[in-house]
Structure 1
């Protein structure tokens, strides 16, 4: 506090703030916003409630300093209305005076990350600065002069008015932007005692706070994923902003007529319940982080910028408070889960997949220009939770963990980053304990690479991966990337410490708490390792001005030397070198089929079979005999992912294409002992599949 006051200049500015404006201003994370974030802290201290600042409550010198700072900005507010959302065009040319940004988000309002630009051009004015202004003016209350009050109303009012006028280049105000702008209206309504405005803003917020079932819809989906920018899964950025808005609005409104109704409460609960599975812990720092799969372009920002790549950016105490106010056991469980002090990353692995219903990622405001492959089956493995922290400026963007890629065949540029997947079969099935995910891929730009890939997530933290039906029309080598992360200690191939190199007969690989085993009976792949320092520039991938970083990286991939042959490998995360050797040697995993028509795996030790039927007409596959029981042939009438528990004959199924309304599974016994399902040698399951917003989710039935 004392430093902020002592460094404030006579004209109300701070000498260390970058006040570049208009076309000269940085379009993402506008540095000038720190002027208002500082004022917000000063206003909170003056108002009361700021920790360790009681001596500043009502202080006249502090209040005078605040007036100086806010009037510095108010006196230079833009007066050309087009600068709200048309900055840098003929309607608001670069020479136009005043504080404005080409990114409309800055002008309309919030200290969030920054909305999708028309033609990748602008997003600041509507949310960023007006949010700070609304908060500051509400804190200052009756102490505002008439001139200050007028400026407060002007800046927040024109932001809220975009609900009526729209925003140039934005088809509709949706998702997190709706709640951001509604919050500005609520602050304006409270500061002017306008109950009608407060009611209107809360109504808009609650209309938004419903499940969105449309393809590429912005907002909360039925499964708890959060979409923004027409198809990008963004729980860790815009979903976080959305959650912060709801927490603030609903805690304040709890005992009023503005409190969310039951449907809106259930919708927000769905978001929180799902989002907790997208979070991992860095056990080195104790901090919680969003999985990189659902950070979108924010992956390009270093931890030093304190954005969503640095931590959750959500006050978990507010989650606890809302759980109590809403009497929600689910939200309370989310809070308790996030508050546990674990000794491992404790979130498992998430995949980043693209389908014809989703966008892969985006490059906006020059952030994430090389992220084209981020949704090509990315799979991050967290053991300590620090494996990928701050490596993205230095890593190889063609070697994203988990993907299968025609290396360097696709130019990585900002203008070609954002694409919609072309293939409909992307999804999976889960019975709540184990699961299977499947992805059919085609390069969305050139259609030069195709493959079908299956991930089986098994008991005892084991993953089995199958890759099949690879086709490529370029000369680029095709790699399946095992991992690319910070190097942590020695690397072992076939039990021997190794360095960088190529290995044509690798049985196993272990490094940094993760082990892999390979199918040596299939010579179609070889193992490659790249170990050592890589240097990269944060400025080359985004808006950060941090100095270049050098990272000691571990990169491992399988080279598909014969793409006509299928391949598979097994992952053992969370293991020591010794436990990996023991665990892998005791494995009883049996690959049944992996040919691009059907992917099938048998986990003998756990009496489980997992099947993926890739073709529209389904197909049939035989589950081998276990312990003398008869083999079972499973026939599906369509695309499906199936889990069969062969000890209880509980069957879980989904349609990864999300196109079917029903499906039939036939089970036929071969020779051998009759299983526990009864005396019949033939069983049929007629299954009605979920539709609408929950299409593609799993259904469980029993054969017994």
Structure 2
């Protein structure tokens, strides 16, 4: 009999949860296709005899004519979507057909299984990836391979390959997500196919399997084939019933997607309805510390405290687009809350995308790809491109009447840019839920990644990114051409990551000691949409040997300023603040003269259309090097690409006197002549830079920026020119709490935030004086948002 599991029973007890089912299957670990039906039916029968659970979706009566029409429509749309996603992968079909052996496997696929298998990107998965492409060609709709449509030889090869795997599918339920443990032990003679990484068993392989099955259809699949298709799909879907710990964020959508395709294969309306409900329950804005999913600021969290708009966020978005375009106009389409959440995500995404003007490819900022920095572009992982179909985004935007989605899709299609600012988006945005700020100028993009007691610094999983400990220590990337940091991670110095302040080599870098939650709460920023500042109080979470306070000011007229103060180190390691480490493009101008070779003692440096100038009172100097480096990708991950050779420009400050504060100004997106002019004329007053307050006054634009570090607040005095109070010569600002603020005297608006996300309100006073005589006093109380909006900026008129 064909797979006839009722949906209520499915939710109650899927194959992997039933020991009796496992025993039934384990009686014949290498069954033939002919006998697969009876074994699977035995397992299904065991499940059907379990107690059932009713849900809103499962309790519906027989499918109506409308629901049947909807299922058929969604199935047709899913087939189109799956096959269109295979474009460009069909060149190997002829070779695969000729090399498939009589058993149904390929000699060039690595079928290592169990504990001997590679954990990430399991090579055996290529077996199903090939079958999927072959199925797409057989079905029709795959460009350039029309000769294979309904080809009998291709059909036979597909079925042979499917049955080879089905006959070797694992039978121990524990191997699903506990491979390598006592319940699913390592075995050097293992021949059944499973991986110690749950992802391959729950998502990676089953999604390919169910899509192959859906394309081939029940008219072609034998009863045994269909039963195995459903068995592997429902086994994955059982992760919902088992409340598996990994069922968060993108993983929820991936598993629900498998459920939808399985429901379409079996024409089970209740299955489809339940899977869509799982998606819509997840497709909401998530509040809470380190929660996975879409956050209120448009960032995306995964793995409990990591910023992952790229990769996991991409998978999440692509799943939604695939499934919501399929469900458009049916009873299964998303409601308003889910639509709002997705729009919020795309609104955040557009700030995090840069354009490589050298090769015309859109990329994610490396700071939203934590461990995937370990892959070169050629590997086709998350560093290769943004991985989105912009036409599909635009299509869903039109369907949902969402201007946010439509604008995202339309604006990023401009591939005729000469700079990195994809979509020509300008301004400043603070992502307060994940300690991340982006500043976009007309022809550049600067991103800043920090971490706090509410977030994590990075991750090393599956041996990927073992040296990434410093990847959130105030990492500052500035993209101009968009290729500055591409494919250099294997060769660069992981202690000199752009933007960080570090006690060089004082922290051991390894996979086992790479991930930490921050130790400080006061990390965040304030933004008025055009200007911003970010502040970070840092204590090394691994050694507690280095601490500092640092502020990044993003000002008008393509000017940025950085202050470092209150540095403390318990080691003898030199302490550096890194200006940049990126590809060298030449020329290099130092103190207004072109230089070649390493230099110390510089006061200004210009390279690659970015200039750096030390404050006049600065006692330290700029050091830099231009050096060809070689690095092995295998040393930082699982890539098998050859070593990377790259010439790197690195610039840094050495903090010889830790009790002395330092500051410098950066001019991104500036040619040499403009830099020389600006660096001689800019008027920026560093009012205070110590453990209590960091404050500057941008005289040219009459704007004050200040950070009050202490919980009790503090006070600072600036020499200012006040358009509304011409007789005043100084401004004293006092706050009774730890806040960051921007005060624009031209508009009299103040923008304030609480980086610690602990305050409910703050009182701020402004006292204008001349010759110690008070001219004007103003005070205001600013109430701060709480919950999911904690840390966001509040604007008030003084």
* TM class, shorter-length: over 0.9
Instruction: Decide whether the 8 Å contact of 2:283 with 2:341 is kept in 1.
Output: yes
CA distance in 1, matches of 2:546, 2:614: 23
Residue number among 546, 550, 562 corresponding to 1:465 in the alignment:
562
CA distance in 2, matches of 1:433, 1:672: 34
Shift of 1:589: 1.4
| Residue-by-residue CA offset, 1:397-446 (whole Å, 9 max, x unaligned) | 00000000000000001111000000001111111111010000000112
| Residue-by-residue CA offset, 1:105-148 (whole Å, 9 max, x unaligned) | 00001xxxxxxxxxxxxxxxxxx000111111111112111111
Select between 663-672 and 534-543 the one with higher mean Cα deviation: 663-672
CA distance in 2, matches of 1:97, 1:68: 18
Structure-1 residue corresponding to 2:793: 698
Q: Give aligned pairs, total.
A: 676
Shift of 1:158: 0.4
Structure-2 residue corresponding to 1:119: none
Structure-2 residue corresponding to 1:140: 216
Instruction: Decide whether the 8 Å contact of 2:237 with 2:256 is kept in 1.
Output: yes
Instruction: Decide whether the 8 Å contact of 1:360 with 1:372 is kept in 2.
Output: yes
CA distance in 2, matches of 1:440, 1:321: 44
CA distance in 2, matches of 1:489, 1:477: 28
Shift of 1:543: 0.7
Q: Counterparts in 2 of 1:443-522, with a 5 A limit?
A: 443-504=540-601, 506-522=602-618
**TM-score, normalisation: structure 1:** 0.94
Shift of 1:680: 8.0
Structure-1 residue corresponding to 2:737: 638
Select between 624-633 and 279-288 the one with higher mean Cα deviation: 624-633
Shift of 1:607: 1.4
Structure-2 residue corresponding to 1:158: 235
CA distance in 2, matches of 1:22, 1:499: 54
CA distance in 1, matches of 2:291, 2:655: 37
CA distance in 1, matches of 2:588, 2:305: 39
SS at match of 2:654: strand
Q: Counterparts in 2 of 1:674-689, with a 5 A limit?
A: 681-689=776-784
Shift of 1:10: 2.5
Residue number among 630, 638, 651 corresponding to 1:543 in the alignment:
638
Residue number among 82, 87, 90 corresponding to 2:182 in the alignment:
90
Check if 1:62 corresponds to 2:158.
Answer: no
Residue number among 111, 114, 134 corresponding to 1:22 in the alignment:
114
SS at match of 1:670: strand
Structure-2 residue corresponding to 1:334: 408
SS at match of 1:350: strand
Shift of 1:629: 5.3
CA distance in 2, matches of 1:691, 1:494: 48
SS at match of 1:42: helix
Structure-2 residue corresponding to 1:608: 703
Q: Counterparts in 2 of 1:111-260, with a 5 A limit?
A: 128-142=204-218, 143-167=220-244, 170=245, 173-260=247-334
Residue number among 184, 195, 204 corresponding to 1:101 in the alignment:
195
Who wins on radius of gyration, i.e. which is larger? 2
Shift of 1:622: 2.1
Instruction: Decide whether the 8 Å contact of 2:473 with 2:501 is kept in 1.
Output: yes
Instruction: Decide whether the 8 Å contact of 1:137 with 1:144 is kept in 2.
Output: yes
SS at match of 1:681: strand
Structure-2 residue corresponding to 1:371: 468
**Unaligned 5+ runs, structure 1:** 110-127
Instruction: Decide whether the 8 Å contact of 2:503 with 2:574 is kept in 1.
Output: yes
Instruction: Decide whether the 8 Å contact of 2:393 with 2:409 is kept in 1.
Output: yes
| Residue-by-residue CA offset, 1:214-257 (whole Å, 9 max, x unaligned) | 11101111101111111111111211111111111111111111
SS at match of 1:488: coil
| Residue-by-residue CA offset, 1:468-493 (whole Å, 9 max, x unaligned) | 00011111100000111111112221
CA distance in 2, matches of 1:462, 1:3: 56
Instruction: Decide whether the 8 Å contact of 2:285 with 2:296 is kept in 1.
Output: yes
Shift of 1:318: 1.1
Check if 1:268 corresponds to 2:342.
Answer: yes
Residue number among 114, 119, 131 corresponding to 1:39 in the alignment:
131
Check if 1:343 corresponds to 2:418.
Answer: yes
**Unaligned 5+ runs, structure 2:** 1-92, 422-439
SS at match of 1:339: coil
| Residue-by-residue CA offset, 1:290-324 (whole Å, 9 max, x unaligned) | 00111010011111110101111111111011101
Check if 1:579 corresponds to 2:674.
Answer: yes
SS at match of 2:553: strand
Shift of 1:672: 8.6
| Residue-by-residue CA offset, 1:28-53 (whole Å, 9 max, x unaligned) | 11112121111111111222222233
Instruction: Decide whether the 8 Å contact of 2:604 with 2:622 is kept in 1.
Output: no
| Residue-by-residue CA offset, 1:493-549 (whole Å, 9 max, x unaligned) | 102222443422x221011111100124221x2322121111111111101111222
SS at match of 1:555: strand
CA distance in 2, matches of 1:108, 1:228: 17
Structure-2 residue corresponding to 1:669: 768
Instruction: Decide whether the 8 Å contact of 2:564 with 2:689 is kept in 1.
Output: yes
CA distance in 2, matches of 1:337, 1:557: 36
Shift of 1:575: 1.6
CA distance in 1, matches of 2:659, 2:316: 46
Shift of 1:615: 0.6
CA distance in 2, matches of 1:431, 1:477: 37
Structure-2 residue corresponding to 1:118: none
The RMSD of aligned alpha carbons is 1.6
Select between 24-33 and 336-345 the one with higher mean Cα deviation: 336-345
CA distance in 1, matches of 2:775, 2:348: 40
CA distance in 2, matches of 1:563, 1:569: 16
Q: Counterparts in 2 of 1:382-397, with a 5 A limit?
A: 382-397=479-494
Residue number among 377, 382, 385 corresponding to 1:308 in the alignment:
382
